[in-house]
Structure formats: structure tokens, C-alpha cells
Structure 1
Amino acid sequence: MIPIVLSVVILQRIVELFIAKRNEKWMMRQGAFEAGAQHYPFMVAMHVCFFLSLLIEIYVFNRPLSPIWGLFLLIFLLTQLLRIWCLTSLGKYWNTKIIVLPDAKVVRKGPYKWIRHPNYVIVATELLVLPLLFSAYFTAILFTILNVWMMSVRIPAEEKALKDATNYREEFSID
């Protein structure tokens, strides 16, 4: 089960990178700009290291499936459905980078109707649940902490860019 789950997740991330690149090209042709480019390589490195850490912890330290693996797998699968919902809700505006199209209307459908950054909640859940599925506690703790740090940089950068260039302030009634 371990190779199947990890292969599917890694393949999914590769497909998402292709979608992000296509969306980035489209948005840039429309006059978009990138914000937060300085932290993006660190975020990519964090996610690559997450998978490396997970593989090392599982295989080198011979971690078994969690005794409650079924629950963790269910949570993980639900997050994948929510991830797809986020991506389809944003459509061509979805990206792994902070790409902002000036004067665009902020998307307020799907999960974005209720929460400003649902995809980040999903990523945080994945970074915790996927390692717990395989009893990889070190990876779960380390990358949850690293993700909190990364989001403390990324979310303010994204919100600033959206506030400065779109109707974000009005849509979310914030300063």
C-alpha cells in the first residue's frame, strides 16, 4: 500500500505543477505579476524534502502502517477531494506561486465562499495525515512545524498582493 499511495501523491503533485505552469503562462499573458517569489524556492524545497523524509522514515526505519490507518487514509482521501474542489473553484487562477492579475475579481465560490485560504488548510492536513498513516511521526511533526513557518511568510505575502491589486479588501471586509 505504501508505494501505491506515495506514487499516486507524487504523480498528482507533478500533474499539478504542469497545471500551475499552464495557468501561470495564461495569467502572465493577461498582465499578471508574481509576488513572494523570494520564498517560493524554499517552499518547493520543503515539499521535496517532505517526500524524501517520508520515504526515508518509512523505509529506513521500517515504519508500519498506523493501527488506525483506515481513518488516516479516509481523511487523506477527503483532503484530495477538497484539493480538487479548490483547484476547480479557482480555475485558471489556481497556482503554486502567488500570481495576481490586477483588477481581477477575487474568487468567492466553492470553499473560497467560507474560508480565504482553504488550500493551505488542506496542505497542512496532508503534511500531518500522510506521515501519520505510515507511523512516520518525525516527518509529521517536523513538516507541520516547517509548514507553519512557511505559511507565516506566504499568507501575508499573498494577502498583501491581493489587497494591493484586486478587490480582496472589499470581498473579505479587511484592512
Structure 2
Amino acid sequence: MTSLTAFTVVVALVALERVAELVVSKRNAAWSFARGGVETGQGHYPVMVVLHTGLLVAMLVEAHLRRPDVPSALAWSMLALVVASQALRWWCISALGPRWNTRVIVVPGLAPVTGGPYRFFSHPNYVAVVLEGAALPLLHLSWVTALVFTVANAALLTVRLRVEDTALATLPPVGVGRG
């Protein structure tokens, strides 16, 4: 198997993981709405979908057009970072349980989650997104994609974090509520 084929397989696996995320997200959004959940930030959500879908497509196009020789040490180190980002993402999903989804939906009365990776910092899922957004394209030297995604994602996260922090501020303090 060539490195380009292996890269294509890895990107396809990440795409399948995204589909699994969307299934979990849809189920969890229904759970939140059934409990009075309130969604905010709908305006930036389509941009996020396009950006993340574009990442998957762009890195494949770039790799197939450029067909670079990828140093083995770089490929393996980037693969390790991709796997680490996936592990962190699913740790976040597990820690948030039915409250996790790809949208910003908060259930009134539930205190913020402070377990799992959230005991270390407030937005670990976005650390996973940033890490993966750089490492996955660089797995096959798609550096243009990595750079463009990183800059665009930074702009998007500026909006997303503001929306999410505002929504989370409506929740009761830690230790109060049903959560």
C-alpha cells in the first residue's frame, strides 16, 4: 500500500468517525431539547460544517495533486497526533454524555460538566479539533490545507467560544443543579 493510499484510508476513517459523531449528536440534541434545551449560535453552524467537510476534501485533493514524498518520521508522528486528538475528542464526548453535540445547546438547570478532560480546562474538544486540523493534513504533507484550515478555524473558534461561553454562563454554578 502506498503512503497516498494509506493517507486516503485514514481520511476515510476520520470521515466515518464524523458520521458517527453526527449520529451521536442528533440523538443527544433530541435528549437536550426534550429537557428544555436552548440552542444558540445557529448562524455559525453551517460555516463549521463547510469548514470541517472542506478540510477532509481539501487535504485529499492537495495530497493527490502534489504527491509529495512524506518522511516516515513525520507520517508516524502526525498519525500519533491524529489518534491522540480522536482519543481526546471521544473522552470529551464520554464526559459530557447526552449533553455533547455538535451544536451549542444547554439544558437549563444543569450545572456545567467538570469531570473528564473538563477538570483540566474548559474547552478540551476544541483542543482536539485544532490538533487534528493541523496533524491530519500534515500526515501526507498537505501543508496548504493545514495552514488554511488552521487560520479559518481560529476565526470560527473565536465566534464559537464566545457563543458557547455565553450559553454556559446561563447555567448554575458547579455543584448546583441536577447535573
The question of a shared fold, defined as TM-score above 0.5 by the shorter chain, is answered with yes
How much has 1:65 moved relative to structure 2? 3.2
Corresponding position: 1:128 with 2:134: yes
Cα distance in structure 1, aligned partners of 2:24 and 2:69: 34
Counterpart-to-counterpart distance in 1, 2:83 and 2:162: 29
Equivalent residue for 1:18?
23
How many residues of Structure 1 are paired with residues of Structure 2 in the alignment?
A: 169
Retained in 2: the 8 A contact 1:111–1:118? yes
Match of 1:150 among 150, 156, 160: 156
- For residue 66 of structure 1, report the CA deviation from its aligned partner: 4.1
Instruction: Give 1:28 deviation, angstroms.
Output: 0.2
Give the aligned partner of residue 59 of structure 2: 54
2: CA distance, partners of 1:8 / 1:27: 28
**Counterpart code for 1:52:** V
One-letter code aligned to 2:17: Q
Which residue matches 1:29?
34
Please give the alpha-carbon distance, in whole angstroms, between the structure 2 residues aligned to 1:65 and 1:123. Answer: 23
One-letter identity of the residue aligned with 2:57: L
Residue in 1 that maps onto 2:96: 90
Query: Which amino acid in the other structure matches residue 122 of structure 2?
Result: R
- Ranges in structure 2 where 5+ consecutive residues have no aligned partner: 1-5
Which digits, 9 at most, give the CA deviation of each residue in 1:78-99, with x for residues without a partner?
1111111111000000010001
Segments of 4+ moved more than 2 angstroms: 63-67
Aligned counterparts of 1:86 and 1:61: Cα–Cα separation in 2: 35
Give the Cα–Cα distance (whole angstroms) in 2 for the partners of residues 45 and 110 of structure 1. Answer: 29
What is the CA distance between 1:63 and its match in structure 2?
3.2
Shift of the alpha carbon at 1:7? 1.3
Partner of 1:101: 107
Instruction: Determine what percentage of the aligned residue pairs are the same residue.
Output: 36
- Kindly state the Cα deviation for residue 64 of structure 1 after the two structures are TM-superposed: 3.7
